[in-house]
Structures are given as C-alpha cells and as structure tokens.
Amino acid sequence: MAHVLDLLTTLSEKERLLEEMLAVLEAERNCILTRDLDGLDEQVEKKIALFASLEELGEQARGLVFEMAADLQIPDAKSLSPVIARLDEPQRESLQGVQRVLLDRGAVVQKMLTANADLLNGALQTVTQSLNFFANIFNPGNTYGNAGKIVGSGARPAMISRGA
C-alpha cells in the first residue's frame, strides 16, 4: 500500500518538527528566565513557523488517512487507529510506533507550552504588582476631606490641614 509509506514519511516529518519544537520551547524558557526579550521574540517567531508547518503536515496526514480508509473500505474512519487495526502486521507495528511517539511528544510539547505560559504570566503579574506599588507611593489616594493632600492652585502650594 503506497499510502502507508507516504503516511509514515509524513508522520516521521511531524515527529522531527515536534523535536525541533521542544528545542525552541526550551530556548524560549531560557529567554524568559534570563529576560532576553530579543531572543524571546526570535523563539516566538520560530514557534509560529513550526506550528504552521505542523498544521500543514497534519492536514496531509489526515488526507492520507482518509484515502487509506477508503482503500480499506472503512467509511467512518476519522482517525488513524481504526485504519491501523485493518493493516498487515509490519505496517501496523510501524504506524503504531510512530503514533505512540507522536502522542508522547505532543504531550511533552503541551506541558512545556503550559509551563512557559505560566512563567510569562508570573512575570507579568510581578511587573503589574510593582507598577501598582509605585503608583500608590507616587499618587496617594484621596483621604477623608483631602487632609494631607498638597494643593497646587493659588499663590503657593500648601498642605490642607484639618487643624488649621
């Protein structure tokens, strides 16, 4: 079956791209930890390009699975598993092996994406809290009756005091 070889080639390429994605995500993590914004931008661009390539390969693989399902007369096969079950032993083992590797790599990629997102969210929360702290120091809020607030209008600035 020619589709099996094409599918194995496509899935192997997808595996290679997932390995590359893992390296990019590790580099992205290092950029976040070292606050290297230029490096982070570069890694994000690489990540976007890899996701586009992975999506393209996913579409190719999906098309090949549908063609294989039609050849094997499996009308409602929407995933690889029902097709694999109907293949001969050597082809089945090869595709199951690649399928397992892809599922494992996909899970690791998902964990790294979540970890990097958590790192970025934590960093942004720290920055926001710091900005709020300094905003409160430099811009004190109004107090009851504006006591303690500097008045800037009039002849000269003066403190408003309830005791005067």
Contacts 24+ apart (CB under 8 A), 117-121: 119/29, 119/32, 119/33, 120/32
Q: Where are the alpha helices (DSSP H) in the chain?
A: 2-34, 37-71, 80-85, 89-138
Asked if residue 27 is part of any domain, the answer here is: yes
Asked if residue 53 is part of any domain, the answer here is: yes
The Cα 158–Cα 90 span in angstroms is 90
Asked if residue 6 is part of any domain, the answer here is: yes
Domain, as residue range, for 54: 2-159
Per-residue pLDDT of the chain (164 residues; tens, 9 = 90+): 678 899 999 999 999 999 999 999 999 999 999 989 999 999 999 999 999 999 999 999 999 998 888 888 887 877 888 888 888 888 889 999 999 999 999 999 999 999 999 999 998 888 888 888 887 777 665 555 665 555 555 555 444 555 54
Asked if residue 164 is part of any domain, the answer here is: no
Asked if residue 59 is part of any domain, the answer here is: yes
pLDDT value at position 136?
74
Asked if residue 40 is part of any domain, the answer here is: yes
pLDDT value at position 132?
83
Neighbour tally for 100: CB within 10 Å = 10
pTM, to two decimals: 0.75
CB 120 within 8 A of CB 32: yes
Give the CA distances from residue 96 to residues 7, 57, 66, 136, 157, in Å, rounded to whole numbers and listed in that order.
12, 18, 17, 60, 79
Token representation of residue 31:
């950029």
**Residue 73: partners with Cβ closer than 8 Å, 6 or more residues away:** none
101 burial type by CB count under 10 A (0-12 exposed, 13-18 middle, 19+ buried): middle
**90 phi/psi in degrees, rounded to 5:** -65, -40
pLDDT value at position 127?
84
The count of domains in the chain is: 1
